[in-house]
């Protein structure tokens, strides 16, 4: 897209953004213990002695989390590092029971990669992935239950996380938003993270700086922690960038600091200045040997990879003739894409796509249903399109049929049959109706004949009305004109 430029009376500025996204790994048990990762259980019920940091307890790496990370790395078109190491990040906090986090520092499991993002003008842009590493999550501190006490829930402590770090490749809030949507889509396709930002299973830190438009310098950045929706990320970038511009234009300097985004105001405020930044004293985790993966293992994970949204989108455009926009929307989540493919199988794919983008999504929205709960099955949607293609019903009748389908879940053939909605294409039957209409509207026939030829449309309408909408409009149109011009 054309550059996102912040223009003031004094000059033009460009925004430079990088993201760090924490994604909770979908796995049955935690990354270093056997405790369950179930979300929403009673506080402190899914906690092992390892998670609670008891004396003498040792972490044991959960192979399932490694597998999920490798899968994700492949989904990000990234290099899988055969050698990676765990490190300890040391800091004291009540919801971090060992008072250090086991993470990866110098040697992450996944190296550089890139993904395409889709922009609103139809263009795509490549966003670089710097690295991805795996680590453990902290527990939750609850500060609002008592005026004098804090409560700790360790159910989340030790759940596996993948931290994805992008290159500072974003030049607008829109690009960052598009990236998050694409990333979420890939993770959900892979089944490695459910990507629910509002539940915290995907959390985003945003690094923002600005520079004079056209320059390639990198100025001091500020980091905003845990921004928890795509909308807020975009808003945070926009407002933080404006703040930087204002500071620079008033002759000030930006200090490197951690800031907090306030969703109620849309603005950011200082959380921690650089001089109070933690010294995390990273060092290699002596309780875990380095993680070494061989080619056979990586290849076996590669063999499990499924078609991801971009590849699917291209296929829908190339072989099914969809517009890039329709293809992008239909591919954003796998269930929708699968539904579409099932519905389109053997039918007119473009028409199926139109129906999905229109009435079908509108129906789901109205009923607040997931696609998995849709009363209209993929097969039935395909069958409906087929009835239109074969002129069995008109597009107009089809809308009524769809309405019934979404209420009853019945298949369209049955509905058309039961309600007698089959389109009349029999010219004899249509001609008979035309005769009736002409006979009872002699004055309009005379007016037509005297030159008011636009009355033809009125006659067509009357005929279709009399057929209760079942007469094929094209045939009616042709026959009406022939009859009037006779």
Partner 1 sequence: MSDITKLTIAQALDGLKRKEFTATELTSAYIKNMENGRHYNAYITECADKAMIQAQNADKRYSEGTNRALEGIPLGIKDLFCTKDIRTTAASHILDNFVPPYESTVTANLLDDGAVFLGKLNLDEFAMGGSNETSYFGPVINPWSKDKNLVPGGSSGGSAAAVAAHLCAGATGTDTGGSIREPAAFCGITGIKPTYGRCSRYGIVAFASSLDQAGPIAQDVTDCALLLNSMAGFDEKDSTSCKVETPDFTSFLSGNVKGLVIGLPKEYRPEGLNDEVAKYWDKAAEMLKSRGAIVKEISLPHTKYALATYYVLAPAEASSNLARYDGIRYGFRAVADGEHLDELYIKTRSLGFGKEVKRRIMIGTYVLSAGYYDAYYLKAQKMRRLIQNDFIEAFKECDVILTPTSPITAFPIGDESMLQNPINMYLNDVFTVSVNLAGLPAMSLPIGLAENGLPLAMQLIGKPFDEATIFKVASKLEADAGFERK
Residues that bind partner 1 (CB under 8 A): 49, 52-61, 88, 90, 92-94, 97-100, 148-150, 152, 279, 281-283, 286-289
- Closest distance between partner 1 and the C-beta of residue 2, in Å? 42
Q: Give the residue with the Cβ less far from partner 1, 144 or 217.
A: 144
Strands 291-292 and 83-84, sheet pairing? antiparallel
**Measuring CA to CA, which residue among 205, 116, 127, 196 is closest to residue 163?**
205
- Closest distance between partner 1 and the C-beta of residue 268, in Å? 25
Report the interhelical angle of 173-190 vs 63-75 (nearest 10°). 130
- Map tokens 């620079």 to a residue: 248
Q: Give the residue with the Cβ less far from partner 1, 157 or 227.
A: 157
- Name the 3-class secondary structure at 13: strand
Q: Give the residue with the Cβ less far from partner 1, 52 or 224.
A: 52
- Name the 3-class secondary structure at 48: coil
- Closest distance between partner 1 and the C-beta of residue 291, in Å? 10
Q: Give the residue with the Cβ less far from partner 1, 286 or 451.
A: 286
Residues 94, 104: Cα–Cα separation, whole Å: 22
- Closest distance between partner 1 and the C-beta of residue 154, in Å? 9
Residues 79, 25: Cα–Cα separation, whole Å: 19
**Measuring CA to CA, which residue among 204, 200, 203, 243 is closest to residue 221?**
243
Q: Give the residue with the Cβ less far from partner 1, 32 or 402.
A: 32
- Closest distance between partner 1 and the C-beta of residue 163, in Å? 20
- Closest distance between partner 1 and the C-beta of residue 260, in Å? 19
Residues 231, 18: Cα–Cα separation, whole Å: 16
The string of DSSP codes covering 356-376 is: IIIIIHHHHHHHT--GGG-SS
Q: Give the residue with the Cβ less far from partner 1, 33 or 406.
A: 33
Q: What's the start-to-end Cα distance of the chain, in Å? A: 58
Q: Give the residue with the Cβ less far from partner 1, 277 or 474.
A: 277
- Closest distance between partner 1 and the C-beta of residue 82, in Å? 18
- Name the 3-class secondary structure at 477: helix
Apex 177 CA angle, 133 and 81, nearest 5: 20
Reduced 3-state DSSP string for 81-111? CCEECCEEEECCCCCCCCCEEEECCCCCCEC
Q: Give the residue with the Cβ less far from partner 1, 287 or 391.
A: 287
| Contact predicate 67/301, CB 8 Å | yes
Tokens of 381: 């949607």
Question: Which uninterrupted H or E stretch holds 161?
Answer: strand 160-166
Query: Under 8 Å CB-to-CB from 64, ≥6 apart: which residues?
Result: 27, 28, 29
Q: Give the residue with the Cβ less far from partner 1, 54 or 362.
A: 54
Distances (CA, A) of 62 to 36, 98, 106, 163: 12, 18, 21, 17
Q: Give the residue with the Cβ less far from partner 1, 280 or 325.
A: 280
- Closest distance between partner 1 and the C-beta of residue 102, in Å? 11
Q: Give the residue with the Cβ less far from partner 1, 151 or 325.
A: 151
- Name the 3-class secondary structure at 322: coil
- Closest distance between partner 1 and the C-beta of residue 231, in Å? 33
- Closest distance between partner 1 and the C-beta of residue 92, in Å? 6
- Closest distance between partner 1 and the C-beta of residue 279, in Å? 5
- Map tokens 């990866």 to a residue: 104
Report the interhelical angle of 334-344 vs 378-389 (nearest 10°). 40
């Amino acid at each position: 897209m054309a550059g996102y430029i912040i223009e003031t009376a004094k000059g033009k500025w460009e925004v430079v953004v990088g993201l760090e996204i924490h994604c909770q790994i979908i796995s049955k048990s935690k990354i270093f213990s056997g405790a369950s990762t179930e979300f929403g259980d009673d506080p402190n019920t899914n906690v092992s002695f390892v998670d609670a940091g008891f004396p003498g307890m040792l972490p044991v790496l959960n192979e399932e989390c490694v597998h999920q990370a490798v899968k994700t790395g492949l989904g990000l078109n990234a290099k899988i590092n055969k050698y990676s190491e765990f490190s300890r990040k040391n800091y004291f906090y009540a919801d971090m029971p060992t008072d250090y986090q086991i993470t990866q520092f110098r040697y992450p499991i996944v190296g550089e990669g890139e993904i395409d993002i889709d922009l609103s003008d139809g263009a795509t842009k490549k966003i670089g992935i710097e690295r991805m590493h795996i680590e453990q999550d902290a527990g939750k501190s609850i500060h609002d239950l008592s005026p004098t006490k804090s409560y700790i829930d360790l159910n989340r402590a030790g759940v596996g996380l993948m931290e994805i770090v992008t290159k500072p490749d974003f030049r607008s809030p829109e690009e960052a938003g598009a990236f998050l949507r694409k990333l979420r889509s890939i993770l959900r396709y892979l089944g490695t993270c459910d990507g629910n930002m509002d539940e915290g299973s995907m959390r985003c830190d945003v690094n923002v700086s600005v520079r004079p438009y056209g320059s390639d310098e990198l100025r001091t950045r500020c980091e905003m922690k845990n921004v928890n929706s795509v909308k807020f990320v975009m808003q945070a970038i926009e407002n933080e960038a404006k703040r930087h511009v204002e500071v620079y234009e008033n002759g000030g300097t930006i200090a490197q600091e951690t800031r907090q985004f306030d969703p109620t105001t849309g603005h950011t405020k200082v959380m921690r200045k650089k001089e109070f930044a933690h010294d995390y004293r990273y060092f290699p985790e002596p309780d875990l040997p380095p993680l070494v993966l061989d080619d056979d293992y990586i290849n076996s994970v590669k063999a499990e990879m499924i078609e991801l949204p971009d590849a699917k989108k291209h296929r829908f455009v190339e072989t099914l003739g969809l517009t890039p926009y329709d293809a992008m929307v239909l591919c954003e989540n796998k269930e929708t894409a699968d539904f579409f493919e099932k519905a389109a199988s053997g039918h007119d794919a473009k028409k199926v796509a139109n129906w999905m983008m229109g009435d079908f999504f509108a129906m789901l929205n109205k009923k607040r249903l997931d696609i998995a709960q849709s009363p209209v099955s993929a097969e039935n949607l395909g069958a409906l399109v087929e009835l239109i293609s074969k002129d069995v019903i008109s597009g107009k009748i089809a809308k009524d049929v769809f309405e019934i389908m979404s209420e009853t879940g019945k298949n369209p053939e049955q509905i058309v049959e039961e309600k007698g909605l089959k389109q009349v294409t029999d010219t004899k039957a249509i001609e008979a109706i035309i005769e009736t209409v002409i006979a009872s509207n002699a004055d309009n026939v005379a007016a037509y004949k005297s030159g008011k030829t636009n009355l033809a449309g009125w006659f067509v309408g009357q005929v279709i009305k009399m057929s209760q909408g079942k007469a094929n409009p094209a045939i009616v149109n042709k026959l009406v004109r022939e009859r009037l011009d006779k």
